[in-house]
Amino acid sequence: MRPFKILLSLVFLLSAFSVQAKIESKDFPNEQMEADYTSLVAELRCLVCQNQSLSDSNAELAVDMRTKVFKMLSEGKSKAEIADFMVVRYGDFVLYRPPVKSSTFLLWFGPLIFFVIAAFIVFSFIRRQSLEKPAIDEQEQKKAHSLLDDE
Amino acid sequence: MARYGLLIGFFILIGVFALVLDRMGSGEYNPRDIPTEFIGKAAPGINVPDLYDPSKVVKVSDMQGQVWLLNVWGTWCPECWREHKYLNELSLKGIPIVGLNWRDEAVEAKKMLDRMGNPFVSIGFDPHSSVAMDWGVYGAPETFVINAQGIVVAKHAGGITPTVWAEKFAKHFQPVQPSSAQNTMKSNGTL
C-alpha cells in the first residue's frame, strides 16, 4: 500500500508541474500590471484554438500574443489600448466579450429572444390545459371518491 | 394535428441543420475563417530584415505602383509546401510576390527555397510574429493582394490554387482600365 501511495503522490506532484509549465513565467514590476495582464489574456481569444483564451492556449501565435500584451503593458499602455490594438488587427472576434452593435445584436440578445418565445409557448400551453375541462366527468369522480372511502 | 405540426417542425429543423452543415463544408459560413479587418484599408507595414540579406529591410513602400501579393509561409506548414509550386508559376507569369517567413528557422527556410525554387521578390523574416500580428495573420499560408496605391484589396486564408486565383485574385490583376488609370494618375498627382 505504501509504495502505491508514494507513486500516487508523485503523479500528483508532477501533474502540478505540467500545469504550471503552460504559462511562461513573467516578471511583473507591480501587482497592478500582473492583474491587468491576467485579465487581458483571459479576455482575448486565441485565433488558432478558437475556443481557448490566450491564457489557455499553447499555440505559438498565442505565446507571441501574450508576449505582445506583456510588452505593451510594460510600455505603459492601458488595457483598453491593448484590446483596441488586437481588435484593429483581428476584429471583434478576438474579444470574448464583443461590443454590442448591429452585427453582434443576435449574439447578445438571441438567447433572451429565444427565452421569451419559449416562455410564451409554455404559458399559452399551460393556459389552454387549465381551460380544458377535467379528464373525468362528475359521475366518474363520485365513483372514485366512493372507492377511496371504502378503504 | 398538433402532433403533426411538431413532427413537421422537427423535420424543418433537421433540414436547416443539414443545409448549414453542407454550406460550412463547402467553405461558406466557416467559423474558422475570420474575415480580415484590412480590406479597403492601407496595408500595414512589414519593416523586418530580409531573409537573405539581414542588412536590408523589407518595406511595403518598395512595392508601390504595382499590384502585388504578400504570402505568409513557414517550413512547418504543410499547406505552404503544397502551394509553393503554384506560387512559382505565378512568379513566372510576372506576379510580384513578397514572402513573409513566419515563426521559422532561417536555415530551414533557405533550404526549402533551394529545393523548391524561390518565387519571392523579397522575404521578410518574422520569427516572433511581429509582422504577422500587424497584418492580423492567424495561420499559414495566408495571402494578401495589395493594389498599386498600397490598399489591401483581397485576402485568402489557406493555400493558393488556380481556383482561388480565378475566383478571388485574378480580377485585381486585370490590365488597368483607361478611366481608373486616370484616377491613379490623379491621386499620384495630389500626392
pLDDT by 10s per residue, chain B, length 191: 567 888 898 999 999 999 888 877 766 566 667 778 899 999 999 999 999 999 999 999 999 999 999 999 999 999 999 999 999 999 999 999 999 999 999 999 999 999 999 999 999 999 999 999 999 999 899 999 999 999 999 999 989 999 999 999 999 998 655 544 444 444 444 44
pLDDT digits (tens, 9 = 90+) for A56-99: 888 899 999 999 999 999 999 999 999 999 999 998 889 988 88
Residue A19 within any structural domain of the chain: no
Put simply, the answer to whether B136 touches A89 (Cβ < 8 Å) is yes
Which residues span the domain enclosing B85? Answer: 37-173
Tell whether A52 and A112 lie within a shared domain: no
Tell whether A89 and A142 lie within a shared domain: no
Contact assessment for residue A58 and residue A71, using Cβ atoms and an 8 Å cutoff: no
Whether the pLDDT of residue A108 is over 80: the answer is yes
Q: Look up residue A111 and give its three cell numbers.
A: 438567447
Whether the pLDDT of residue A134 is over 70: the answer is no
Q: Which of A50, A64, A87 sits opposite B133 (nearest CB)?
A: A64
pLDDT digits (tens, 9 = 90+) for B80-94: 999 999 999 999 999
Interface probe with B: pick from A90, A92, A114, A128, most Cβ of B within 10 Å: A90
Tell whether A51 and A90 lie within a shared domain: yes
Residue A61 within any structural domain of the chain: yes
Residues contacting residue B40 through CB under 8 Å, at least 6 positions apart: B151, B152, B153
Q: Which positions in chain B touch A91 (Cβ < 8 Å)?
A: 34-37, 136
Which residues span the domain enclosing A83? Answer: 25-99
Gyration radius (Cα) of chain B, Å:
21
Angle at B156 between CA B78 and CA B158, to 5 degrees: 15
Residue B184 within any structural domain of the chain: no
Tell whether A82 and A134 lie within a shared domain: no
What ipTM describes this predicted complex? 0.74
* Chain A residues whose C-beta sits inside 8 Å of any chain B C-beta: 47-48, 50, 60-61, 64-65, 67-68, 87-91, 93
- Among chain A residues, the shortest Cα distance to B129 is held by A64
Residue A11 within any structural domain of the chain: no
Tell whether B7 and B53 lie within a shared domain: no
Average pLDDT over residues A108-128: 92
Tell whether A85 and A126 lie within a shared domain: no
Tell whether A91 and A107 lie within a shared domain: no
Q: In the prediction, which pLDDT does A16 show?
A: 61
Residue A5 within any structural domain of the chain: no
Domains in chain B, number: 2
- Among chain A residues, the shortest Cα distance to B2 is held by A125
Tell whether A73 and A84 lie within a shared domain: yes
Whether the pLDDT of residue A19 is over 60: the answer is no
Q: In the prediction, which pLDDT does A79 show?
A: 93
Q: Which positions in chain A touch B32 (Cβ < 8 Å)?
A: 50
Give the least confident one: A123-127, A129-133, B136-140: A129-133
Domains in chain A, number: 2
Residue A106 within any structural domain of the chain: yes
Tell whether A34 and A88 lie within a shared domain: yes
Find the Cα–Cα–Cα–Cα dihedral B8, B14, B17, B21, rounded to 10°: -140
Q: In the prediction, which pLDDT does B188 show?
A: 45
Shortest Cα distance from A51 to chain B (angstroms)?
Answer: 11
Task: Report the CATH number that the domain containing residue A81 is assigned in CATH.
Answer: 1.10.8.640
The more confidently predicted of residues A145 and A69 is: A69
User: What are the strands of the beta sheet with B68-73, ordered from one edge?
Assistant: B122-126, B97-102, B68-73, B142-146, B152-157
Residue A4 within any structural domain of the chain: no
Tell whether A82 and A119 lie within a shared domain: no
Tell whether B22 and B53 lie within a shared domain: no
Residue B185 within any structural domain of the chain: no
Name the residue among B147, B142, B174 with its Cα closest to residue B158.
B142
Tell whether B42 and B113 lie within a shared domain: yes
Residue A149 within any structural domain of the chain: yes
